[in-house]
Chains A and B, each alone.
Chain A
Amino acid sequence: MCPPSYSFSPLDALWHHEPAAMSILGGGLVSLVGLGGLLVALRRRQQAMGGAWSALDHGDLPTQAPPPLTKPTLAAVALALFMPVLTVAVTMHDRAALRACIASNVVGEPANCTAWGGLGDSVGQHLGWGMVVTVLLLPIAVLVMAALTHLRWRGDYIRALLELATRRGPSERYRQTAWEHDEGALRRLLSRRPPGFGVAIALWGAVGLAIVAFGSGVVRSLTTAINGLNGIHLHGNLDARLAESASMLDPHLIVAGAFMGVAFGILVAVRRATEDWSHPPSWRATAARFALGTGCLVLASPLAAENANPVPASVRHFNEQSASVAYLPITPPNLVGHRDVPYGIQVDIVERAVELDGYAVGDTVRGDTGELEDMLRRKRELWLSFHPDRPFPGTVNVAVDGRTTVATLRPWLEAARRAGYHEAIIILVQTVPFAHAPLGVWASWHRLTGVDVALGCGRAGAKRLDMDGDVEAMARHALEAPRGMACMPTVEP
């Protein structure tokens, strides 16, 4: 089986009007415009601040308050953020399309799959162009946003100071609060100057890194999920590594829990000690903190899925040897159970429908097995006409999900036996959520369990699968026997 050939060339992609490349280029231009607008807004705000802060530094009260943030500035911020967001979105789409293209050509003729290569390529083999652009834009955006935030903090501070210093007597509004004594309030305010530029840079740097990390995490967890759907499992046996990381006694979790507990304790203690109990906190700020906390949990979800499925150490070797666009080499379905399933005649039981190689041949409720039997017999005769001197393999793959019952499955296996097949590989398809993911249903993969079952119990010592119940229990039962030693009893004619 030859791997499909595919090429990676951003210039080729642009030349052929690859939509992903074009849209990321356009998004970059939009972001540049936004950054330009931000620089202008920054300059204006710096001028508006004027000598207010230097007056404060000299011990004088400023005479004029700087204006608050304007809507055009906020629009410029939104435009500047457009590029990273678009890069993430387009990369997700691009990688998914590439994966689907490669997956659809694993069997058969080599195909040409082209990819532009965005954020997802930064890890693994190529530094994708989307990543390069993002990495170049990120420090600029961080600096600009930090400068804006820094100026805003100072502006808010000066406005609050002026409001306190210039009003005459406690108004109705202020009587409700603790701000009844101007001098005390002013002293308190003056003792708490806003944080400096460094804090603003750290804040926005963290936000930018979170956006990039989120992008990579989403791309990888999505491609993993898509590969699961296509029966392609990346980097070895997921099942074993999931079993390792699924334990609640994971030392990472214990250490993290301890740190979080200590941090929470300190936070609550400090907050309770410093809270001004006569001055109620803003409910808007409270709601915003709840919203931000929720946002963090959502952002962490793909990262958690990523961590539940760590990249094995052997991955690094592929960096040198493989020139493929694919992050990791594609392997045939790596199954749990007796053995890997060979490509062959495939019967799928999907809810009610029974399909043979993708074509509907029956219905489990009606139980009309005649067409399946006829088609299987014709396939057998066709194979024998091509290979008259070889024995017929007589194996049929039967894919079912965990909800299918043995009673539902049995007539179809019986039909296969009547058509001249002596062995079925039952492929049990189960959807397994990633361990640790707080929103686990978002990220799941398909575990395939392959079980060899002889059709008919003629062989001595074979384990008879004559139980009722669901196929999952039957598969467990069959896996207790050595390969080839589990059998489905049939109604002999």
Chain B
Amino acid sequence: MFDVHRIRHTSSIASWVFFVGGVGYLAYHFVLVGHQYARVIFSF
């Protein structure tokens, strides 16, 4: 009834998407915060 292999492949791809999305989201906010702090520290 359930194609276990297909479920595992699909969830694997979904987990890659979630993982890369999470890392990207973190990186995006990290860059924004870094920009803010760099502006304060180096006065530009």
Q: Which residues of A contact B (CB under 8 A)?
A: 123-124, 209-210, 213, 216-217, 252, 256, 259-260, 263-264, 267-268, 271-272, 275, 277, 280-281, 283, 285-287, 289-290, 292-297, 299-300, 303-304, 306-307, 310-311, 313, 315-316, 319, 438
Neighbour of A277 across the interface among B9, B16, B24, CB < 8 A: B9
Task: Find chain A residues with CB under 8 A from B32 CB.
Answer: 252, 303, 307
A280 touching B15 in the complex, CB below 8 Å, given contacts A123-B37, A296-B23: no
Instruction: Kindly state the separation between the CA atoms of A217 and B26 in the bound complex, as whole angstroms.
Output: 12
Instruction: Kindly state the separation between the CA atoms of A233 and B13 in the bound complex, as whole angstroms.
Output: 45
Task: Find chain B residues with CB under 8 A from A268 CB.
Answer: 13, 16-17
Query: Does the CB pair A216–B37 fall under 8 Å?
Result: yes
Task: Find chain A residues with CB under 8 A from B41 CB.
Answer: 123
Enumerate 24 A-B pairs (CB-CB under 8 Å) in ascending A order. Answer: A123-B37, A123-B40, A123-B41, A213-B34, A216-B33, A217-B33, A252-B32, A256-B28, A263-B20, A264-B17, A267-B17, A267-B20, A268-B17, A275-B9, A285-B15, A289-B19, A293-B15, A293-B20, A293-B23, A294-B18, A300-B29, A303-B29, A303-B30, A311-B36
Query: Does the CB pair A283–B20 fall under 8 Å?
Result: no
A297 touching B12 in the complex, CB below 8 Å, given contacts A264-B17, A303-B32: no
Query: Does the CB pair A280–B17 fall under 8 Å?
Result: no
Task: Find chain B residues with CB under 8 A from A216 CB.
Answer: 33, 37
Task: Find chain A residues with CB under 8 A from B4 CB.
Answer: 280
Nearest chain-B residue to A309 (Cβ)?
B36
A289 touching B16 in the complex, CB below 8 Å, given contacts A281-B9, A307-B33, A313-B39: yes
Task: Find chain B residues with CB under 8 A from A217 CB.
Answer: 33
A254 CB to closest chain B CB (Å) equals 12
Query: Does the CB pair B12–A281 fall under 8 Å?
Result: yes
Query: Does the CB pair A293–B39 fall under 8 Å?
Result: no
Neighbour of B22 across the interface among A256, A296, A315, CB < 8 A: A296
Query: Does the CB pair B22–A311 fall under 8 Å?
Result: no
A292 touching B33 in the complex, CB below 8 Å, given contacts A272-B13, A300-B25: no
Query: Does the CB pair A286–B15 fall under 8 Å?
Result: yes
Query: Does the CB pair A267–B26 fall under 8 Å?
Result: no
Instruction: Kindly state the separation between the CA atoms of A256 and B27 in the bound complex, as whole angstroms.
Output: 11
Instruction: Kindly state the separation between the CA atoms of A453 and B19 in the bound complex, as whole angstroms.
Output: 54
Task: Find chain A residues with CB under 8 A from B36 CB.
Answer: 306-307, 310-311
Task: Find chain B residues with CB under 8 A from A313 CB.
Answer: 39
Neighbour of B30 across the interface among A213, A259, A263, A297, CB < 8 A: A213
Query: Does the CB pair A316–B9 fall under 8 Å?
Result: no
Task: Find chain B residues with CB under 8 A from A260 CB.
Answer: 21, 24-25
B34 CB to closest chain A CB (Å) equals 7
A211 CB to closest chain B CB (Å) equals 11
Task: Find chain B residues with CB under 8 A from A293 CB.
Answer: 15, 18-23
Query: Does the CB pair B9–A280 fall under 8 Å?
Result: yes
Instruction: Kindly state the separation between the CA atoms of A209 and B27 in the bound complex, as whole angstroms.
Output: 10
Nearest chain-B residue to A265 (Cβ)?
B17
Instruction: Kindly state the separation between the CA atoms of A264 and B33 in the bound complex, as whole angstroms.
Output: 24
Query: Does the CB pair B12–A311 fall under 8 Å?
Result: no
Instruction: Kindly state the separation between the CA atoms of A272 and B16 in the bound complex, as whole angstroms.
Output: 11
Instruction: Kindly state the separation between the CA atoms of A294 and B43 in the bound complex, as whole angstroms.
Output: 35
The 3 closest A-B pairs by CB, nearest first: A296-B22, A293-B22, A289-B15
B3 CB to closest chain A CB (Å) equals 11
A273 CB to closest chain B CB (Å) equals 11
A121 CB to closest chain B CB (Å) equals 12
Task: Find chain B residues with CB under 8 A from A264 CB.
Answer: 17, 20-21
Which of the listed residues A263, A277, A293, A295 has the most CB atoms from chain B within 10 Å of its own CB? A293
Instruction: Kindly state the separation between the CA atoms of A209 and B29 in the bound complex, as whole angstroms.
Output: 13
Instruction: Kindly state the separation between the CA atoms of A438 and B26 in the bound complex, as whole angstroms.
Output: 11
Query: Does the CB pair B22–A295 fall under 8 Å?
Result: yes
B13 CB to closest chain A CB (Å) equals 5
